[in-house]
Amino acid sequence: MLSLFRSVIACFVLACGICGLAHAQNEFQDLDVKVNGIPGASYYLVAPNARDSIGFVDMSGRAVFRRGVGLHTNLAAYGTKKLSVFTGNFGYFAYVIFDSTLTPIDTMTVTQQYVTDSHEGMLWTDSTFMMLGLEFRPFDMSGIVPGGQPNASLMVTVIQERHLVTDSVLFEWNAFGRIPVTDATSNIELRQRTIDYIHANSIVRDRDSNLIVSCRHLDEIIKIRRTDGSIMWRMGGVGSKNREFTFVNDEHEGVTGFSHQHSAIVTKTGTIMLFDNGNLKPNQRSRVVEYALDTVAMTATRVWSYTPEPPLYSPSQGSIEVLPNGNILIGYSATNDQRIAEEVDRNGSIVVQLRRTSDVPLQSYRVRGTSLGCTAIDRAITKPGREEFADADSSTWVCLDVSKVSGSHRTRIERHHYRPHAWQVDDAQVCGPLSLRWTIRVLPAIGIDGSLRFDVDEIASPEKAILYHRSNEGSGRFKRYITQYDADAREIILDTIIDGEFAIAYQECVDPIPVFPIRGATSVPSTTSIRWSESPDATSYDVEVSFQEDVSMPYATFTTQRRDTVLRGLPPSTTAYWRVRKRVENEQGAWSATSSFTTAGTVHVSEGNLESDQCVVWQHGDRLNIAYPGVPVKDVLVYDLLGTLVAWRSFATESSMYEIACDQLPRVGVVIVRGVDGSIQRRTVVRD
């Protein structure tokens, strides 16, 4: 057992993201972030930064959304819904999965006969997780290489896909018997006691659903057939002993091909892109390289590459990610350079650069981009008119009224849910800012005229709100702008379109007001969230909920620092009344006006013939998709067969497809779709 324990610890150290922890700070390092264009991400995941916590690095270089997780590496986000990180606390190695609020919701490991490997673990589908593992297999090397150990231990790569709910293994691949130990590159010592001869460090899905795996100690990218685990091809680099492909147009530092690579990915066009560490090249420099493969002629043609200037060398780790806007995010990791990462465009121009601001080493196994935690919308503005920066699920609360435009202007607007850093204004007395800020980027900045409209429907006293702006996100003084307030639309209007960071404050502090559900709302689920506006000076909020209009007999009372909460188990067909007030230290403010909403009643879903071929409902993960061609949908309600409402959502805008989250979807449920024309459609759904 002791030998196995040491082997496990050795494996953990070899998982390069952990090896930097001995020098990591307990506090987060601020980074120097230089932005020169429109980034493809809102935040960067740099882990580990602090020894025991994760955080998102925003464009000012500060870590936000911090959360303690213990020893960790390999932090990844999946759209705007989930997050995962590899943890190694108390000798227990596992991937922890979080929801969008950074609440842990699951853990995942390989099965017990193996050790979970930190190099790769990811949500493969909505319900499965794909990860690397290691088998420590006793092996007699004495007859394989001169001086080989008769009691050696091979670190054999294992790949497993496991179901998140049932824990069943849906796919397993073991390299033993498929890849000989002697296939390792010449710099891998085969006479040592424990031999890491493959060292897989990334897995991705190819466009045909088979697996692309990076094997660093083979200098190879291999393709594994999903159905039977056979190796379809092996693309070998500088030190590979199985070069099945010929490289075209890829002479680099006097050699062709890559060496000791990381982060091999498949792009949307089907090319292979990877981080080429360059260990076995005579002049060691790291780069990113992209190949188009011809699996008939067996050629790998370089179609794009990026070598940082001045050059740097990352002997281990390193990462790449193609962001939604096409930019490539490159993590440099294990270097002595101040550069942590660069986001570059296809022309090789640096859009964003992240640098250390101290001499304290910071080695992030991978650097990834994400917009989880904010609302970010990209648009190309090509013609005059009103452009809403919103999608079906969320809104930035900003739109552009474009009066004149020449050419195409790439525009990215982000709404962030925390206060601006380093708040400084010239006003003598201001109460603020709110926990709300926007960043607006327009490229090119000239050739477009019009106004910016900020939706302030969810803040208290919007007519008193003051809009502030500064050019550089995270630094400099905010300038107060003269604006107009549209009371009907509840919008603040700025008569110009400019780049920068925007925030809201008040000349005098205001009291909170109920925001959601809207006053007088009906058919509200029995489990619902309530939300109120922010008072900048509040240290906490008191909330009362009652079934009496005068709130004389509260159903629930509580004090919280949050600005929302969830009410559970409300009775059906009942009107609830609620109000909120702020606390400033020990001082209490005035109660808000009372708001109300009415919960949904039970329904007899078996009555009536509401089925129609016109309306289609289908399940995708924890969401239901609804298509109702020709009829704008007012709202969607989901009931179980006992008539209990388990999910509800209303829609304000027309769409080709509607979506509703249904975390508590029963085994058999009934979906009621109500159109704005008064039509009602019913669908029975069976949970996967």
Phi, psi of 181, rounded to the nearest 5 degrees:
-65, -30
For residue 24, pLDDT beyond 50: no
Say if residue 433 is preceded by a cis peptide, omega within 30 of 0. yes
| 338 and 463 belong to one structural domain | no
% of the chain with per-residue pLDDT over 70: 92
* Residues 546, 646 share a domain: no
Indicate if 126 and 151 belong to the same structural domain: yes
Question: Mean of the per-residue pLDDT values for the chain?
Answer: 90
The predicted pLDDT at position 526 comes to: 82
Half-sphere exposure of 49 (CA within 13 A, CB side): 28
Do 252 and 331 fall within a single domain? yes
What residue type is 543 in one-letter code? V
**Which of the listed ranges 172-186, 513-527, 668-682 does the model predict with the highest average pLDDT?**
172-186
What one-character DSSP code corresponds to residue 102?
Answer: S
Lowest mean pLDDT among 80-84, 426-430, 492-496: 426-430
- Please say if the pLDDT value at position 14 is more than 60: no
Residue-wise DSSP of 42-97 = SEEEEESSBSSEEEEE-TTS-EEEEEE-SSEEEEEEETTTEEEEEEEETTEEEEEE
Task: Verify that 491 and 583 share a domain, yes or no.
Answer: no
Confidence of residue 16 (pLDDT cuts 50, 70, 90): very low
Could you give the CA distance from residue 201 to residue 153 in angstroms, rounded to a whole number? 20
At 4 the pLDDT is 33
Q: Parallel, antiparallel, or unpaired: how do β-strands 299-306 and 246-248 relate?
A: parallel
- Residue 256 sits in a domain whose CATH number is 2.120.10.30
287, 259 Cβ separation under 8 angstroms: no
CA–CA separation, 298 and 320 (whole Å): 25
Give me the mean pLDDT over the 40-46 stretch.
97
- In tens, the pLDDT along 415-471 reads 999 999 999 998 878 998 999 999 999 999 999 999 999 999 999 999 999 999 999
List Cα–Cα distances, 286 to 48, 214, 316, 686, in angstroms.
21, 16, 10, 51
HEC readout, 429-487: CCECCCCCEEEEEEECCCCEEEEEEEECCCCCCHHHEEEEEECCCCCCCEEECCCEEEC
Strand 395-405: give its sheet, edge to edge.
385-390, 395-405, 448-455, 491-494, 484-486
Same domain, 494 and 418: yes
Between CA 51 and CA 491 the distance in angstroms is 43
> Would the pLDDT of 223 be above 80?
yes
Report the candidate in 622, 572, 623, 605 with the shortest Cα–Cα distance to residue 681: 605
The pTM for the full model equals 0.83
Give mean pLDDT, residues 286-296.
Answer: 98
> Would residue 659 count as lying in a domain?
yes
The answer to whether residue 620 is domain-embedded is yes
Q: Is the pLDDT of residue 66 over 60?
A: yes
Task: Answer for the pair 484, 493: CB distance below 8 angstroms, yes or no.
Answer: yes
pLDDT in tens, 105-158: 999 999 999 999 999 999 999 999 999 999 999 999 999 999 999 999 999 999
Tokens of 173: 């691949």
- Residue 517: is the preceding peptide bond cis (ω within 30°)? yes
- Residue 385 included in any domain: no
Q: From 549, 569, 599, give the residue that closes a domain.
A: 599
Return the pLDDT at 263: 97
At 160, give phi and psi (nearest 5°): -135, 140
> 615-667 pLDDT, tens per residue?
888 877 777 888 888 889 988 888 766 566 777 888 888 888 888 876 656 66
Residue 560 lies in a domain: yes
Residues 572-619: pLDDT tens digits? Answer: 889 999 999 999 998 999 999 999 999 987 544 443 334 456 788 887
CA 30 centroid distance within chain: 20
Let me know whether 321 and 447 are in one domain.
Answer: no
pLDDT, one tens digit per residue, over 369-388 is: 999 999 999 999 999 999 99
Query: What confidence score (pLDDT) does residue 629 get?
Result: 85
Secondary structure of residue 600 in the 3-state scheme: coil
d(CA 259, CA 275): 9
Return all residues near 677 (Cβ < 8 A) that are at least 6 apart: 631, 632
What integer pLDDT is reported at residue 361 of this predicted model?
Answer: 83
CATH of the domain at 549: 2.60.40.10
Number of domains in the chain: 4
Q: Which DSSP symbol is given to 419?
A: P
Which residue matches tokens 């590899």?
86
Query: Could you say which DSSP state residue 13 is in?
Result: H
Residue 25 scores a pLDDT above 60: no
Cβ(228)–Cβ(186) below 8 Å: no
Range 552-569 average pLDDT? 90
Residues of the chain with pLDDT > 90, as a percent, come to 75
Asked, for residue 322, whether it belongs to a domain, the answer is: yes
Q: Is the distance from CB of 402 to CB of 411 less than 8 angstroms?
A: no
604 part of a folded domain: no
Q: Which of 212-221, 399-408, 646-655 has the lowest mean pLDDT?
A: 646-655
DSSP annotation of 331: E
Instruction: Say which DSSP state 144 is in.
Output: T
Q: Distance between alpha carbon 175 and the CA centroid of its chain, in Å?
A: 31
What single letter denotes the amino acid at residue 271? T
- Report if residue 610 sits inside a domain: no
CA angle 220–222–224, rounded 5-degree value: 165
Copy the structure tokens of residue 89.
């606390």
What is the average pLDDT across 666-683?
80
Read off the CATH number of the domain in which 630 is found: 2.60.40.1220
Neighbour-count burial of 386, counting CB atoms closer than 10 A to its CB (0-12 exposed, 13-18 middle, 19+ buried): exposed
Query: What is the token pair recorded at 465?
Result: 């709100």
DSSP 602-644: P--TTSS----TT-EEEEETTEEEEE-TTS-EEEEEEEETTS-
Q: What separation, in Å, do the N-terminal and C-terminal C-alpha atoms of the chain show?
A: 42
Omega before 512 within 30 of 0, i.e. cis: no
Residues 590 and 579: their CA atoms lie apart, in Å, by 10
Please name the helix (run of DSSP H) or strand (run of DSSP E) that holds residue 7, with its range, or none. helix 2-14
* CA–CA dist 62, 421 (Å, integer): 8
Pairwise CA distance, residues 289 & 258, whole Å: 8
Last residue of a domain, one of 337, 372, 407: 372
Instruction: Give how far Cα 230 sits from Cα of 179, 212, 226, 336, Å.
Output: 11, 12, 8, 40
Residue 271 tokens read as 């090319």
Query: Stretch 529-549: mean pLDDT, rounded?
Result: 95
Render the burial of 304-338: b for 16+ CB within 10 Å, e for the rest: ebbbbeeebbbebbbbbbbbebebbbbbbbbbeeb
Tell me: do 500 and 523 sit in the same domain: no
Q: Are 108 and 164 in contact (CB under 8 A)?
A: yes
Residues 555 and 676 in one domain: no
The residue among 607, 672, 609, 668 whose CA lies nearest residue 641 is 668
Owning domain of residue 674: 616-686
State how far the Cα of 215 lies from the Cα of 117, in Å rounded to an integer: 14
Q: Average of pLDDT values for 263-289?
A: 96
Give a yes or no: residue 202 inside a domain. yes
Both tokens of 144, joined, read 């394989």
563 and 590 within one domain: yes
d(CA 503, CA 437): 5
Residues 251 and 176 in one domain: yes
Same domain, 423 and 501: yes
Domain stop point among 487, 506, 525: 506
